[in-house]
Amino acid sequence: MELSVVVVLLLVVPVSLAQEDLEGKVFVFPKETNTDHVILRPTITRPLSKVSVCLRSYTDLSRHYTTFSLATPGKDNAFLFFLEPPNTFSMFINQEETNFKMYPETLDWRHTCVIWDSDTGVVQLWVNGKLYPRRGSMKGSSIAAETSIVLGQDQDSIGGGFDSKQSMVGEIGDVHMWDYILTSEDVQKAFYGDFHGNVINWKSLVYEIKGGVLIQPKL
């Protein structure tokens, strides 16, 4: 009796970027790690002197954490959302820190928009459709064309250098980014889900998941 040996060749396809409409869905960051994150790819790759970023987040963390991190060569904090419960929001633009004192965090979804205009240096923080007193940072500066954009971790070097004690544990959704200054009317539309980014668009998101991040329906 002859023994037939069948050799099956498996083609291993490397993980690649996905492009997807994520309306009604969120990224869930289930635990504290220095690995779990989501990489976003912008549709525009040129220096930016005007930037608007909006996103929703939901967490019960009592330690500091990061939701949005944009790094460039030589500037790991080129555009960074860094939250320090109960009431401090730190915004970094090209390494310069600007602090806002927010209302104490409650266990609810938070819609956050940060708008920066290099021409004036004015930084706006909007939380749940309300504007905090404006600040100033990095007038005349610009964000380099080569970027690494990450959700859920603070980049200490471009694309990496993560610290689990600064990681997001919770949920992030409705991430949008523009290369211009949003008006107050635009912010309100974004708050209600009716205004979408031209650099990053949640309804046509180009992303790559690293680690144990999950895509789940928004509840």
Distance CA 178, CA 53 (A): 7
Q: Judge whether residue 3 has pLDDT over 70.
A: no
Q: Judge whether residue 5 has pLDDT over 50.
A: no
Q: Judge whether residue 6 has pLDDT over 80.
A: no
For residue 184, give the H/E element and its range: helix 184-191
Return the CATH number of 18-214, one of 3.40.30.10, 2.60.120.200, 2.40.30.170, 3.40.50.300: 2.60.120.200
Look up residue 70 and give its DSSP letter: E
DSSP for 105-123, written as a single string:
P-SS-EEEEEEEETTT-EE
Quick one: which of 29, 59, 52 has its CA closest to 152? Answer: 29
Q: How many Cα atoms are found within 13 Å in the side-chain-facing hemisphere of 190?
A: 34
The share of the chain scoring above pLDDT 90, in percent, equals: 87
The residues, ordered by sequence, that sit 6+ positions from 202 with a Cβ below 8 Å of its Cβ are 22, 23, 173, 174, 175, 176, 196
pTM: 0.91
User: Residue 92: beta bridge partners?
Assistant: 80, 97
pLDDT in tens, 135-193: 999 999 999 999 999 999 999 999 999 999 999 999 999 999 999 999 999 999 999 99
Q: Judge whether residue 105 has pLDDT over 80.
A: no
What is the 3-state composition of the chain as percent helix, strand, coil, each rounded to the nearest 5?
A: 5, 45, 50
pLDDT in tens, 56-102: 999 999 999 999 999 999 999 999 999 999 999 999 999 999 999 99
